[in-house]
Structure 1
């Protein structure tokens, strides 16, 4: 639980870092560079620890599938935000834990949710809605396109977690699981950046490079490695419930670092998310 809260804080801070780096590095290219740099770090870490990344263990097919979904997820997120607001987008994106909960409920009987745990997921999602309620607006022209893309990204995020959990990847080392996703996305995301006509590097500042370095080492390498270690050892449904904290941490860091307002709806959201996590981790 302590590690998951820490990871959510890191992922929340990543939203601020990505926003800073966007000033000089196009979003999809930035995501691709992040994956490439983190893939190098994972490779070096694995070599140091003696973890074989290329041994035949039956993980190639699910690993490539997870990598494709990982790349598509980030492509949809960054492109979808061109059409819809960030507040609307985050609400749709954080429906991913429901995908995990429903999938694990169907596929793994041992991880089926009871009524109290289901109520916890609902409470946590209502917390997200409350926290971002003031920023939500009526759909504008073409806004539904962005909403649909963010919802599709949430489905991919949840599906990736399920693939890792129920396939041979669930028995593989966390380093190998992460390397598949980083390597595939490091190839596909820059290609997508060029295909979509992004400007690429547009005179990035020193702070933009620092933000990218933090995303590579702190987020895509260290935090994702810890995440994949966790989901091979603990119930995926309960872990996914903690992911509701990530956008709230994002708002908190935005308040402190970017002088964005802290409101009562956000406070209500924090209470509901805390209640939801408590209920999801209740066995009876």
Structure 2
């Protein structure tokens, strides 16, 4: 391995670690910011600051694929990006920020780990761009059972804020799963540079938030330095620069290895929630989280049950693209 290759691999490894740390810490920063601003203002700040950060990066680099334009020219491509801006940014960011008014940052980070299972369901049954083998189907079922254990329905005799907060986190995971499936179906094969792809996604979401300012961010604010630092970190780093790192890791390591960040973010989120905010757990929350992790391992074929690798033919009628 040449020194250049070794340095490049080290840089990619640092970007992967930074991505996991920042995304894991984002749940803590949301909780801190909610002390002085509304959930709508948290989501608004994340997307507007993230879009500005990525816009400056694209403006400086002007990335092109095969000498093509920096930004896509087909109107249909912009429509697709508008869809994933709503489903992958606006709605889930609002849901997570709203949920953390009622649930701990640690629990929110655990629910974020449900995303790969939701992605498998959406990619297979909604968009038909993947197939699940039997072991993966078992993984999805184990993950769903884990979610039920995390919720702990036996604790509730009425619909409380805590329960609605958990449903909101789960809804955000569904949105992410839909977005990944939609992206795979309609956008993945298009010649768009990675940083441009991230900018169009986050930038359009930021533009939507600007339009929605009278609805989601109209309340007066009194900002302190901890709140400003939390919002800047959420936006410029977590919703901006980390997306570029994600693309670099994806290209260097491939989608399977890049997806291992799914295991890092909830660990970081839980550790920070416990250490910084003194958050506590009931027994069923970590137990359910372990089941979700096992479900993810099965769904991503990192753990196998020794079952025959027969495909579930009812999931997809046509060959994979």
Tell me the TM-score normalized by structure 1. 0.75
1:130-149 counterparts in 2 under 5 A?
130=149, 133=152, 137-140=156-159, 149=168
Which one of 23, 42, 62 corresponds to residue 50 of structure 1?
A: 62
Partner of 2:197: 177
Aligned-residue offset at 1:118: 2.8
1:73-222 counterparts in 2 under 5 A?
73-79=92-98, 85=103, 95-106=114-125, 107-108=127-128, 111-127=130-146, 130=149, 133=152, 137-140=156-159, 149-171=168-190, 172-196=192-216, 198-201=218-221, 203-222=222-241
Whether contact under 8 Å (1:9, 1:249) holds in the other structure is yes
In 2, distance between residues paired with 1:101 and 1:24? 37
Partner of 2:242: 223
Aligned-residue offset at 1:99: 3.2
In 2, distance between residues paired with 1:276 and 1:5? 23
Q: For this pair of structures, how many residues does the alignment match? A: 280
Aligned-residue offset at 1:134: 10
Q: Name structure 1 gaps, 5 residues minimum.
A: none
Larger radius of gyration: 2
**Other structure's SS at 1:59 match:** helix
Tell me the TM-score normalized by structure 2. 0.68
Which one of 59, 75, 78 corresponds to residue 77 of structure 2?
A: 59
Aligned-residue offset at 1:75: 2.8
1:20 aligns with 2:32: yes
1:260 aligns with 2:279: yes
| CA gap 1:19/1:76 in 2 versus in 1, 3 angstroms | closer
Aligned-residue offset at 1:242: 5.8
Whether contact under 8 Å (1:71, 1:184) holds in the other structure is no
